[in-house]
Amino acid sequence: MQKVTLFPQACKGMEDCGICAFVCPKSLFVASEEMNEAGYLPPLPPDEEKCTACGNCMIYCPDFAIAVEGGATDGREE
């Protein structure tokens, strides 16, 4: 069972970054409407039912704001 954990305080925002949305093969990242303490809009937690646990978001997030447990880690879309 895959699990995606977000650390929203570490995120520099979907507008300024958004790499997670770009690399997710399932397009599961959309911006929250709530700012973090730094004033950025982090993503909402992705739908874990649709997540394949490919690990792309964790690998490419430059701020280590996402952790993925379980599933494949090779980035291939199923």
Q: Does 57 bind ligand SF4 (CB under 6 A)?
A: yes
Q: Does 12 bind ligand SF4 (CB under 6 A)?
A: yes
Q: Does 41 bind ligand SF4 (CB under 6 A)?
A: no
3-class state of residue 67 by DSSP: strand
Q: Does 55 bind ligand SF4 (CB under 6 A)?
A: yes
Q: How far apart are CA 63 and CA 77, in angstroms?
A: 23
In the complex, minimum distance from the CB of residue 4 to ligand SF4, in angstroms, rounded to a whole number: 5
Q: How far apart are CA 76 and CA 17, in angstroms?
A: 22
Give, as one character, the DSSP assignment of residue 42: P
Number of residues in the chain: 78
Contact residues toward ligand SF4 (CB under 6 A) are 4, 11-14, 17-20, 23-26, 28, 42-43, 46, 51-57, 61-63, 65-66, 68
